Amino acid sequence: MMFFRRPGIWILILIIACSMLVRPDRESLAGVVAPPPPLGEPAFSRSEALTPDYTGCGGQNAAVINASYEQQVVNLVNAERAARSLPPLKRVSLLDNAARYHATDMAQDNYFSHDTYDRSGGSLVLRCAWSERITAYYTNWSNLGENIAAGYLTPAEVMNAWMNSDGHRANILRDTFWEIGVGYFEGAGSYYRYWAQDFGRRNGVYPVVINNDADSTDSQDVELYIYGVWSEMRIRNNADTWTSWQPFQNRVSWQLPPNSGLHTVSVEMRKTGQTAASSDTINLDLPIRAQLGNLPDSISLTYSIPSQRFLPPDVVSVTPQNIGDETILSWQVDTLDNWYELIPTTGNTPDNFILAANNFITDTIGAYTGAFTVTVTSPGGTIGSPHRTAVSLTVTDAPIYTIYLPAMIR
């Protein structure tokens, strides 16, 4: 273990023994038993302020080579943390860009180091320290770390190697890190495949993490982790209505809207003298299932005393439908109101029922309100069931006029 002092910065680097081996021929990698590829030295830094020189030191966004590999590494990191009751890390594009740049740069300039080099005239020229390179993307940090590796074939292989190294495992499980980025490159350099994990925590940033930062889910029910220590919080989906303020807790069970697609969960937190807001997104990919639909949220009727008729007519037809899959839905409709009838009260899609207003005082101005509920009795678990429809009737002394407009045909 070694300590280095820079103005305003303490940098701690955990040194582990590693063997820089010449990688066997690419085509034979999967078929030979070779010594383990290099892991590099896990790096960790804590700083309140850093003013680096960015020249020749990152700042560009490298192309994504394998998005699935990068997400798998995030998933494996958070699985290891969950197994030890540690909070999940939030994947952020700033650290992704820093890690991906470094994985690409190591391959293209054919070197293996946390610090950033350029190759000039066949020789490597140091450009900047690893923490300076990351800060070109990820500013205002209070904690920073990095793991690198080369030559490993899959996310599972490289994670297994990191977890079997004390220093690298410490970075993965460090509770002072709240965010992560992953970079992967293949196609150049002595080891052909290069990996980088960058870890960090920023001042004033309190991540929200859905389902251990998985990129998708097939269930509306998700788990949130909210960083920080707060008194109260409120939550919402997308641009929906906020919940009421409630006592803060780091772990929260939450439900996404019942439709597939990308959803954002936003959280606002507060305590005396401080507020913060954060959000996370996840893609909901629900299996196709039965869904009750084609039902109005409200029905309004008007009865004119002098005209002795309704506007619209006193009988309204309602047709429940399955707007999800092809399953036939069995439904029933219920109400506690007695100023109208529902006929019939049970059926199967595509059957309809009618609402008939026929039990009210027809010569007295007044207003009637109520509601009916359509419930799917089979199959169970149908989305959108039960559905409540509000019903209102206004009895007025205003006449209803019928106006005829002439039609001209040329």
| CATH class of domain segment(s) 208-284 | mainly beta
3-class DSSP state of 143: strand
CATH architecture of the domain 67-202 equals 3-Layer(aba) Sandwich (3.40)
Q: Which of 56, 75, 185 is nearest to 125 (CA)?
A: 56
> What are the domain boundaries of the chain?
67-202, 208-284, 292-396
Please report, in tens digits, the pLDDT of each residue of the chain (410 residues total): 222 223 333 333 332 223 222 222 222 222 222 335 665 555 444 443 332 232 368 888 999 999 999 999 999 999 999 999 999 999 999 999 999 999 999 998 999 999 999 888 888 889 899 999 999 999 999 999 999 999 999 999 999 999 999 999 999 999 999 999 999 999 988 999 999 999 999 999 999 999 999 999 999 999 999 999 999 999 999 999 999 999 999 999 999 998 889 999 999 999 999 999 999 999 999 888 899 999 999 999 999 999 999 987 889 999 999 998 999 999 999 999 999 999 999 999 999 999 999 999 999 999 999 999 999 999 998 989 999 999 999 999 999 887 777 766 76
Q: Parallel, antiparallel, or unpaired for β 208-210 and 221-226? A: antiparallel
pLDDT of residue 22: 27
Q: Which helix (H) or strand (E) holds 168?
A: helix 166-173
Residue with tokens 């949220």: 297
DSSP per-residue string spanning 198-245: EEEEETT---EEEGGG-SEES-SEEEEEE-S--SEEEEEETTSPPPPP
Cβ neighbours of 10 (radius 10 Å): 11
pLDDT of residue 410: 67
Tokens of 191: 């080891």
Domains 67-202 and 208-284 agree in fold: no
pTM, 2 dp: 0.65
pLDDT of residue 396: 94
CA 360 to chain centre: 51
Distance from C-alpha of 355 to C-alpha of 357, rounded to nearest angstrom: 7
The answer to whether 140 and 157 are in contact (CB under 8 A) is: no
Distance from C-alpha of 94 to C-alpha of 77, rounded to nearest angstrom: 18
pLDDT of residue 314: 80
3-class DSSP state of 106: helix
Beta-bridge partner residues of 119: 124
Question: 184-218 burial by CB neighbour count: b if 16+ within 10 A, else e?
Answer: bbbeebbbbbbbbbbbbbbeebbbbbbbbbbeebe
Q: How is domain 292-396 classified at the CATH fold level?
A: Immunoglobulin-like (2.60.40)
Residue with tokens 């023994």: 17
The answer to whether 196 and 103 are in contact (CB under 8 A) is: yes
